[in-house]
């Protein structure tokens, strides 16, 4: 039966595919695909874990005292019986054989299917037996975890083309997905995703938009209403999830998919054109990347350099083992060399808040992590780690132009400590005779204190980059990862726009470079406004670059005269911005 689930639209577009559920469990479950040749080995892992749990339960039965209640022994017998149920064992193996799930995911998927059946039972006693199934599954998951902890991969392996013989596209349905796991979507089999929690401004939603993956978040009860392998439509424009759609609805959305692809193809033709306004003003378009391999997408999109290399993604999904100086150097060098002489801006590690390291446990988090030990504060609190990163960046600068960007700096003492750390790292390299290059030093403006004391910043830094995502949340005192207040996150807020406009104006007056690398840079609704503020350098995910370039090519700066004043003076800046945008028709070069 077809049904609709409503959530929040966070990434535009339409995705159609079979549902893959990441089931919730009290035990952490690794979700990834195995290669076809690994299926037999994975089934053997599952069988070995089942035998181990059976042996543990039998041992427990042997150890019980004579005065132990008979009900407890009977319960152990029930668990052994469930483990040895051939029908359920075969069904679990089927997830591995047909969908290429790893053993843990197969157990979780089968548990999800079974618990649904128990929930639908009318007999109360039988419904209560669901807990027995859950306990057995958790024992099995713990056994798999003990046996294979050392080589457990992240949530999804890259490079797997498909998991079904019929090559059906897949969409992911989960309670939530971490930002680090979201990065696994690059090149993965998933066409879109649905989560039960999250808001428009959570980091996960931002990553989804940057990767151009249709997504809906905050779709409550999605995991309960969607079943494994259901056909699902994700309408990322409307925040709608359609489960088991009718043929007519399916065809309508497939038509919308084709229209979206045609629009992307048209934008692709602009790749080789410089970003110049209709009246001849050149605008620099840079790319945000997470890993060295992303440089190929940046170049393919026509980026003129990397405006933000988020180095923290080198530190994630590593089971607590941080990359050493040499590993970082090789990663930065690869990115610099791949950009073929174009500048690469490397941001020092921005860990904390909604981007914790694996080695950080729940006990390491403060009550409000967004205001805790994160970004440059975390780096300065770990001098050895920070020195290793600075040395690696300085060494990579031998291979091409490198800009070093410091995140979330807000206090004069942090400026002094950061500059001292850079000079210490440089001094040690000189003393060792280790080759290194010159870097231009920049600061991210993402805390109101930094924006308000910008003249002091500009005395020490060569350039500034405005991180609008955090600047908005700190200006408005809103944790963008908190659903309860996410609706108050407003990039059009007059205070936010005033801080951005003043930062651009003061940086340009001082002769220092200024760019915007936050999400606003990749949002076409803000292109004209930012241009009217004087911004001439935008940095965004490569997938967003063609649409922003199209907007720039269609803009006449003369027509924006007065727009900045109107927007900054308005109670509703968004409405004030609309009359100033004058689309123009420009010739689009035909494909060769």
Q: What does DSSP assign to residue 276?
A: B
Backbone angles phi, psi at 336, to 5 degrees: -65, -45
99 is in an annotated binding site: no
Cα distances from 182 to residues 93, 158, 541, in angstroms, run 27, 12, 14
- What's residue 405's pLDDT? 98
How far apart CA 544 and CA 342 sit, in angstroms, is 19
- What's residue 16's pLDDT? 95
> Is residue 203 annotated as a catalytic residue, yes or no?
yes
Q: Could you write out the DSSP letters of every residue in 73-91?
A: HHHHHHHHHHHT-HHHHHH
310 is in an annotated binding site: yes
387 is in an annotated binding site: no
Backbone angles phi, psi at 194, to 5 degrees: -130, 130
**Structural domains of the chain ordered from first start:** 3-22+156-265 (3.50.30.10), 36-151 (1.10.274.10), 280-580 (3.20.20.60)
424 is in an annotated binding site: no
How far apart CA 209 and CA 541 sit, in angstroms, is 9
Q: Which two structure tokens, joined as six digits, stand for 345?
A: 């801006």
- What's residue 453's pLDDT? 95
- What's residue 310's pLDDT? 93
- Largest interatomic CA distance in the chain: 92
Catalytic residue among 31, 79, 436, 517: 517
How far apart CA 339 and CA 361 sit, in angstroms, is 37
How far apart CA 500 and CA 466 sit, in angstroms, is 7
Per-residue pLDDT in tens (0 to 9) along the chain, 592 residues = 789 999 888 888 999 999 988 755 545 677 788 899 999 999 999 999 888 888 888 777 676 555 445 555 666 777 788 888 888 889 999 999 988 999 988 988 888 888 777 777 766 656 656 667 777 887 888 788 765 543 433 444 333 333 444 467 889 898 877 655 665 555 567 888 898 877 776 666 777 777 778 999 888 888 888 888 899 999 998 999 999 999 999 999 999 999 988 888 888 888 889 999 999 999 999 999 988 999 999 999 999 999 999 998 888 766 667 899 999 999 999 999 999 999 999 999 997 655 556 544 443 445 666 788 889 999 999 999 999 999 999 999 999 999 999 999 999 999 999 999 999 999 999 999 999 999 999 999 999 999 999 999 999 999 999 999 999 999 999 887 676 777 788 999 999 999 999 999 999 999 999 999 998 999 999 999 999 999 999 999 898 899 999 999 999 999 999 999 999 999 999 999 985 444 445 555 554 4
Catalytic residue among 203, 399, 436, 541: 203
Contact 207, 229 (CB under 8 A): no
Q: HEC string of 196-241? A: CCCCCCCHHHHHHHHCCCCEEECCCCHHHHCCCCCEEEEECCCCEE
Q: From the CB of residue 82, how many other CB atoms can be counted at a distance below 10 Å?
A: 18
Paired residues of 126 in beta bridges: none
Backbone angles phi, psi at 575, to 5 degrees: -65, -35
Contact 191, 16 (CB under 8 A): yes
Contact 95, 110 (CB under 8 A): yes
How far apart CA 189 and CA 468 sit, in angstroms, is 31
- What's residue 160's pLDDT? 36
347 is in an annotated binding site: yes
Contact 526, 491 (CB under 8 A): yes
How far apart CA 67 and CA 429 sit, in angstroms, is 71
> Is residue 411 annotated as a catalytic residue, yes or no?
no
Q: Alpha helices of 323-480 — where are they, by DSSP H? A: 325-338, 375-381, 383-396, 412-432, 448-452, 454-458, 468-475
- Residue with the two structure tokens 């649905």: 194
How far apart CA 227 and CA 19 sit, in angstroms, is 7
26 is in an annotated binding site: no
Q: Which two structure tokens, joined as six digits, stand for 92?
A: 């679990």
């Amino acid at each position: 039966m077809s049904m609709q689930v409503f959530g929040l639209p966070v990434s535009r577009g339409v995705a159609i595919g079979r549902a893959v559920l990441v089931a919730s469990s009290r035990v952490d479950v690794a979700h990834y695909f195995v290669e076809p040749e690994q299926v037999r080995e994975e089934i053997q892992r599952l069988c070995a874990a089942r035998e181990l749990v059976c042996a543990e339960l039998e041992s427990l039965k042997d150890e019980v005292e004579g005065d132990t209640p008979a009900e407890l022994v009977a319960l152990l017998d029930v668990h052994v019986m469930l483990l040895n149920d051939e029908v359920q064992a075969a069904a679990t193996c089927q997830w591995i054989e047909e969908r290429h799930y790893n053993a843990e995911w197969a157990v979780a998927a089968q548990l999800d299917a079974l618990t649904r059946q128990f929930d639908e039972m009318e007999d109360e006693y039988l419904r209560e037996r669901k807990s027995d199934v859950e306990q057995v599954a958790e024992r099995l998951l713990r056994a798999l975890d003990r046996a294979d902890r050392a080589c457990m991969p992240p949530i999804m392996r890259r490079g797997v083309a498909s998991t079904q013989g019929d090559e059906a596209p897949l969409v992911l349905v989960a309670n939530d997905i971490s930002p680090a796991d979201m990065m696994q979507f690059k090149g993965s089999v998933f066409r879109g995703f649905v989560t039960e929690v999250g808001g428009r401004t959570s980091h996960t939603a931002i990553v989804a938009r940057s990767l151009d993956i249709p997504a809906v978040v905050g779709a409550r009860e999605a995991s309960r209403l969607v079943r494994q392998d259901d056909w699902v439509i994700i309408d990322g424009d409307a925040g709608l999830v359609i489960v088991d759609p009718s043929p007519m609805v399916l065809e309508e959305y497939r038509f919308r998919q084709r229209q979206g692809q045609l629009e992307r193809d048209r934008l692709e033709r602009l790749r080789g054109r410089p970003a110049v306004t209709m009246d001849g003003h050149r605008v620099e378009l840079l790319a945000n990347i997470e890993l060295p391999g992303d440089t190929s997408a940046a170049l393919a999109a026509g980026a003129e350099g990397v405006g933000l290399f988020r180095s923290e993604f080198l530190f994630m999904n590593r089971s607590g083992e941080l990359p050493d100086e040499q590993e970082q150097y090789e990663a930065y060098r690869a990115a610099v060399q791949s950009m073929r002489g174009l500048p690469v801006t490397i941001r020092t590690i921005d860990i904390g808040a909604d981007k914790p390291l694996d080695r950080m446990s729940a006990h390491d988090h403060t009550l409000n992590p967004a205001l805790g030990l994160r970004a440059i504060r975390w780096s300065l609190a770990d001098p050895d780690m920070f020195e290793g990163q600075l040395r690696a960046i300085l060494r990579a600068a031998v291979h091409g132009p490198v800009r070093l960007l410091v995140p979330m700096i807000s206090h004069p003492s942090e400026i002094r400590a950061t500059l001292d750390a850079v000079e210490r790292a440089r001094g040690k390299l000189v003393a060792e005779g280790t080759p290194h290059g010159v870097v231009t030093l920049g600061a991210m403006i993402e805390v109101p204190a930094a924006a308000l004391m910008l003249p002091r910043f500009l005395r020490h830094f060569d350039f500034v980059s405005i991180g609008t995502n955090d600047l908005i949340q700190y200006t408005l005192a809103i944790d963008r990862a908190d659903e309860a207040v996410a609706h108050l996150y407003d990039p059009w807020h007059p205070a936010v726009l005033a801080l951005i406009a003043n930062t651009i104006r003061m940086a340009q007056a001082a002769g220092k470079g200024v760019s915007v690398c936050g999400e606003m840079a990749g949002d076409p609704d803000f292109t004209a406004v930012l241009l009217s503020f004087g911004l001439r350098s935008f940095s965004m995910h490569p997938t967003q670059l063609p649409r922003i370039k199209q907007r720039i090519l269609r803009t006449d700066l003369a027509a924006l005269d007065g727009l900045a004043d109107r927007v900054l003076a308005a109670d509703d800046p968004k409405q004030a911005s609309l009359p100033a945008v004058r689309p123009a028709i420009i010739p689009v070069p035909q494909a060769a």
